Structure 1
Amino acid sequence: MKKEFTHINEENNPKMVNVGDKKITKRKATAKATMFLGSEIISHFKSEDIITKKGPVFQTAIISGIQAVKKTSELIPMCHPLLINGTDIDIQIIDSEHIEIICEVSIEGKTGVEMEALTGANIAALTVYDMCKAISQKMVIKEVKLMKKSGGKSDINNE
């Protein structure tokens, strides 16, 4: 059976999916962004963060990622506004040149939170870029992907 796009109506116009008849379930999604900072930037870290004139890099990125999760429906037209139960973002240095940003979002609702988790990870990475670009603009947001999703019709585990 060929899958169809859910956000297009019979006239091939955009639509927002009607979730009115879906059951409320516990839903969770986790997204990961891997980012190349380079050894020049990583060398500035003292313990687990850099304090810049703009503030602490990772803490600021975490706050911006949380804000992005809450604003996903304003940024992506077909996303439903959601009452988010919780968002947790963790940023770790994984080697001498890279960091990893993990964004986990949970709700009890009728639709999933994959887009919220992906948006949170992306915006946190962009914030790291913004805060570190004075040292180097060779940074690369290498990969952003959905790692896990649970609740709803199907569970996904891409770890």
Structure 2
Amino acid sequence: MSHARLFNALTCAVFALPINATAQQSITLTAPQNTFRANPTAQAEVSKKGPFLEVHLSRHAVWAPKNYKDASQVVSYSIALATRNEQGQWNTVRESAEIESNFKLLPGQTKQLRAETLLIPIDGIKKLNEHWIVLTLKLRSPDSADGYGYTHAHSEKLKAIQ
């Protein structure tokens, strides 16, 4: 077999291999300073893998400002793909499963959480770059109707993931 034929055969074989390219973006999720009684802060890698956004929280901590006098009971957390309405509120488009955490956080205390990978189903969503990633803490709140309160941290808009 001549070198040209061998080269052509190898070139065809290489281009016939499936290419599994995934878009990936590093994000930081933060909450407004001293707004909530328990605040999540995280760094994550977001990647699109098939019908999912995979959000790997590599660094994740929950902190409580000193200006609150009572402890907070953190029940769980989750990650969501969200948009913002005209009033600046989050509209959740899709959400991961909740990760149970169940710990008490005293004023001025910080608790580091373990690294975790969460999945958000995204089938049918066309323009991911019009969304934010929102990290939501679920807290016990005896004053609310359902017994829970929620605090949020968010990323910048997704840019690298289409």
TM-score with structure 2 setting the length: 0.30
Give the structure with the higher percent helix. Answer: 1
Structure with higher Rg: it is 2
TM-score with structure 1 setting the length: 0.31
Query: Which protein has greater RCO, CA pairs closer than 8 Å, 6+ apart?
Result: 1
